[in-house]
Amino acid sequence: PARPYLLMVGTLEPRKNHAVALHALARLKAAGLPHRLVIAGGRGWLFEPIRRLVDELGLADDVIFGGYVPAADLPALYTGAACVLLPSLYEGFGFPVLEAMACAAPVVCSNVSSLPEVAGDAALLVDPHDPVALADAVALVLTQPALADAMRALGPPQAACFRWESCAAETAALYHAVAADGP
C-alpha cells in the first residue's frame, strides 16, 4: 500500500511557512513516521529555496509538489490525508482549515493570526516558528487514533459555523438587534 500522506494546501510562498513543515517532516521521518507531504498549490515567489530545502533535508522521495489543484478535486485530497498542516505565519482567514475540517480531516495549524478562531477546539495549534512543536503535534495525530477520530468528529461542526448561511443569519440578527434599540 502507498504511504499515508500529510497535506498542505495553498500557494507556495513564505507566509505559508513550508520550511517549518519540511523540518517537521524530517523529524517525523527520523522518528519512524514515514509519511509523504503533498503540497497542493501553485508556485509562488521564493519557490526555489523550498525546493532546495527538500533536497538538503533528504526528503526528495517524501515531498510531492502537486501544483494547483481545482477546488472540485480538493475534497478527495483532504479526505485521504492523515493530517492537514497549515503552519502559516499569518492568514487573512484560513480557508484550508475549514475545507479540511468539512472533509473530516485532522488539522494541525498555527496558533497565530485568524487560525485559532477559525479552528476552534477542532484542531491542534502550534507555534509556527517551532518545527519540533509541529512535528510533535502531527505525531500525536498519527499515533493516537482516538485523538485523530475525535478531531475528525469535531471538524465538520466547526466548519459549519463558518458557512455563508450562518454568517448571513448572524449578520441579519445583529442588524435586527441594532434596529430594535432605536436611534
> Mind listing the pLDDT tens digit of every residue in the chain (183 residues)?
477 999 999 999 999 999 999 999 999 999 999 899 999 999 988 889 999 999 999 999 999 999 999 999 999 999 999 999 999 999 989 999 999 999 999 999 999 999 999 999 999 999 999 999 999 999 999 999 999 999 999 999 999 988 777 667 777 878 778 888 766
Tell me the β-bridge partners of 39. 8, 65
Q: Measured between alpha carbons, how far is residue 148 from residues 10, 107, 151, 160, 174 in Å?
A: 23, 9, 5, 19, 36
What pLDDT was estimated at residue 167?
66
Tell me the β-bridge partners of 60. none
What pLDDT was estimated at residue 181?
77
CA distance 24 to 46: 20
Q: Which residue has the cell 478531531?
A: 151
pTM of the model: 0.89
The answer to whether 128 and 88 have CB atoms below 8 angstroms apart is yes
Q: Can you name the CATH fold of 5-181?
A: Rossmann fold (3.40.50)
Cell triple for 91 = 492568514
Q: Which residue has the cell 497535506?
A: 7
φ/ψ of residue 152, rounded to 5: -65, -35
